[in-house]
């Protein structure tokens, strides 16, 4: 049976450490697939004018493209180059909720994330997000220091 690991990246060194741990674990397991995810925290507030909604949609698409190009695609390439099966994606939303949803969609066996980030915004996201993820996930969560 193929094991499936989900790696949550944050674009910082903590995400790199989580990716390295997931790669090592996947190599030890052997028959393993990895899903690499980057979550852009997205405000639940709605906008009322047509122009505000259009601007929000445009910004969302730009964030997805940037995160794929700068974070997810290089991570997936690194894993593929190491001989591992990996796919990746970017989503908007609450970090813990989005990772859990991705895990359910892909029948993930374990989620791997970094403990904290060096940057202010990412540190805030992955500080409380990791706690929420650990408390809410229905699969094991490995938090890499």
Q: What is the mean pLDDT of the chain?
A: 89
Read off the pTM.
Answer: 0.86
Overall average pLDDT of the 22-26 stretch: 98
Identify the domain containing residue 64 by its residue range. 3-144
% of the chain at pLDDT higher than 70: 88
Q: How far apart are CA 46 and CA 43, in angstroms?
A: 8
Phi-psi region of 107 (alpha: psi -120 to 50; beta: other; left: phi over 0): left
At 114, give phi and psi (nearest 5°).
-85, 150
For 102-134, the pLDDT digits (tens) are 999 999 999 999 986 555 444 444 458 889 999
For 35-73, the pLDDT digits (tens) are 999 999 876 666 678 888 788 888 888 999 999 999 999
At 132, give phi and psi (nearest 5°).
-65, -40
CATH of the domain at 138: 3.40.50.620
At 90, give phi and psi (nearest 5°).
-125, 140
- Quote the number of domains for the chain: 1
């Amino acid at each position: 049976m193929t094991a499936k690991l989900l790696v949550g990246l944050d674009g910082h060194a903590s995400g790199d450490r989580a990716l390295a741990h997931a790669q090592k674990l996947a190599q030890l397991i052997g028959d393993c697939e990895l899903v690499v995810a980057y979550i852009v925290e997205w405000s639940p507030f709605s906008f009322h004018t047509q122009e505000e909604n259009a601007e929000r949609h445009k910004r969302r698409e730009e964030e997805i493209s940037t995160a794929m190009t700068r974070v997810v695609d290089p991570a997936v390439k690194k894993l593929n180059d190491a001989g591992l099966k990996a796919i990746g994606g970017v989503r908007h939303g609450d970090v813990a909720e989005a990772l859990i949803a991705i895990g359910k969609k892909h029948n993930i066996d374990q989620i791997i994330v970094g403990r904290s980030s060096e940057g202010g915004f990412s540190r805030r996201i992955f500080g409380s997000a990791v706690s929420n993820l650990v408390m809410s996930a229905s699969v094991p969560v490995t938090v890499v220091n």
